[in-house]
Amino acid sequence: MSRLYDTVEPAVVDEDMLKRAVEEQGPKDEAGKIAKSEGIDFGDVLALRLDFLNVLKIDNLWEFTALTKLQLDNNIIEKIEGLDCLVNLVWLDLSFNNIEVIEGLNALTKLEDLTLYNNRIATLENMDTLLNLHVFSIGNNMLTELSNLLYLRRFKEMKTLNLAGNPFCKQSGYKQYVIAFLSGIDFLDYRLVDKQSREDAMEKHMIQRDEMLHNEKQAELKQEEEIKNKKQLELHKAAYVELMDGPHLFEMMYIEDSEGQKLSEMPGIEDLLQTFKDKFVAICHQMFEYGLKEHEKRDSEVKQFWECVEDAEQENKNLGMKAINNFMVVKKRIMQELGQISDQKVLESVVADYNNQVSELWDKLMGLELQIVDQLEDVIKDFERSMQDLVASFQENIQAFLAQCRDLETFHHEKMMEIAIITLEKVLKNELDDEINEDLRMLFVDKDTIMNAVSSSHDVHLLKIDNKEDDMVTRINHWLKTTIDKIHEDEEVARNRMRVTEINNLIDHLRDEIDNLEVLQTGNY
């Protein structure tokens, strides 16, 4: 297509272009003159037209955070970019450009109407986050594969679709394919999809649709299961007992234990090993259940703490508002008096009274702030002591569970030693020639070799248990420190600073009001 600005130098969206566009599209009356003289806040602009400007590159739109409608059609744009800050965008027109790839739209989750008509796009892709899309125009592009349209099935809200002018539109049965597989569409290529057309399309593609719907349902169930498992794992991690509801720790002891893997092939070891595993996993499962219960206690304690803080802050805020409202009654009376006073001394007395009232308000509000600081300090200390007790109890019990694991490992180690010595004697007498493999036979050359192998396996197992204990203790201590530090520094200190600033700003404003009164400025005061 021939464009209006073909002979003009390609342009980039810059501040001057944006100012001109906003001024031209803004109000033309007195409000427009005021806006132009005082400067335009791009953050307030809701709609913007940048069409027919020979724009090559989208840029400098980061200030338009409130924008809901953006028109960039009839330019020479080659790449969709620079739109990440336009999170409130609902309507976007990029038609009649030179775009080859759909991209750069991930942040536009509120988008309902998207026009990419007359570009050079060959694939529908990279639109997964646009789940609110109602209207989509992708006509006059280079789409050749009808199967690519299945990508649009994820857009459950889409009712209007324009595909006309793409190569696949020439294929026999094109419209029936679209209607059958995008059954939520009400308007296709500017025409209403009537009931008969829908029924014919469904009948023609019944087998393929049923198979596709079955596959989609299976994929949906699989995704739901993955999400469920992910949430469970996150919960288990928060309780510091992830993967402890099964044989994970036991198996980890043997993964890096090459000697133990060989020794597990000794004759008569199978029942011993199974008993060891069953008892070990049972302890881990007890630890897992205990960890979840303790996490629930800690979580409940944290929620109660924040509820207590919120109640205390709200009560303090109500007292502050009561003091302010009482002052406002006094202020109204004083302001009325000032308008009726002509005597200079009386005027000075009333102003002095007003300033005294402001000072008393400041004292009252700051006193309330000091009160809430002290109150929250006590609440935080109680919470900190409670959490320290819970964490200490958790550590103590986890260490007790893992001590049981060590005892099991030590008992198993002793039994392994006994069996290894018996096996060594049989090997030396050539009684087990057909019962052990070559790797195992290499450990039974003498007593020192086999004893070292059994001890090495035991050391690896104990190290894994020790590492697990260190990991759990370290992580919960880190959580406790982070939680308390956040409450002290990020929450309470920030709240106090903000409140003090609010109080001082209010007091300054009240003092400025009396200073700026016209009756005082024009009088003899």
> What pLDDT is recorded for position 94?
97
What is the rounded CA–CA span in Å between residue 323 and residue 510?
14
φ, ψ for residue 220 (rounded to 5)?
A: -65, -45
Close Cβ partners of 238 (under 8 Å, ≥ 6 residues apart): 295
Cα 252 to Cα 249, 283, 296, 466: the distances in Å are 5, 15, 28, 12
Close Cβ partners of 370 (under 8 Å, ≥ 6 residues apart): none
Close Cβ partners of 214 (under 8 Å, ≥ 6 residues apart): none
Q: What is the CB neighbour count within 10 angstroms for residue 7?
A: 7
Q: Is 126 exposed, middle or buried (0-12, 13-18, 19+ CB in 10 A)?
A: middle
Q: Mind spelling out the 3-state secondary structure of 427-476?
A: HHCCCCCCCCCHHHHHHHCCHHHHHHHHHHHHHHHHHHHHHHHHHHHHHH
Residue 100's SS3 state is coil
Q: What is the mean pLDDT of each run of 10 residues along the chain (525 residues)?
A: 51 81 69 48 90 92 93 95 95 97 96 97 96 96 94 94 95 92 92 92 89 89 92 95 94 90 86 95 97 96 93 93 93 84 83 91 94 92 95 97 97 93 84 73 85 93 96 96 87 86 92 72 45
CB 180, CB 204: distance < 8 Å = yes
What is the rounded CA–CA span in Å between residue 153 and residue 143?
16
In the block, tokens 């059609």 appear at 73
Rounded to the nearest 10 degrees, the angle between the axes of helix 270-338 and helix 248-255 is: 120
Instruction: Dig out the tokens for 473 from the structure.
Output: 């203790």
Close Cβ partners of 173 (under 8 Å, ≥ 6 residues apart): 204
Q: If you write DSSP's letter for every residue of 105-166 in order, what string do you get?
A: -TT-TT--EEE--SS------S-TT-TT--EEE--SS----GGGGGGGGG-TT--EEE-TTS
State the Cα angle at 468 between 463 and 470, rounded to 5°. 95
Task: Give the CA count within 13 Å in the CB-facing half-sphere of 178.
Answer: 23
> What pLDDT is recorded for position 37?
44
> What pLDDT is recorded for position 6?
46
Nearest residue to 441 via CA among 429, 431, 433: 433
> What pLDDT is recorded for position 118?
97
Find residue 47's DSSP bridge partners. 69
- Domains observed in the chain: 11-225 (3.80.10.10), 247-523 (no CATH)
What is the rounded CA–CA span in Å between residue 424 and residue 478?
49
What is the rounded CA–CA span in Å between residue 167 and residue 190?
18
Q: What is the CB neighbour count within 10 angstroms for residue 268?
A: 10
CB 455, CB 251: distance < 8 Å = no
> What pLDDT is recorded for position 31?
39
CB 52, CB 29: distance < 8 Å = no
Global pTM reads 0.67
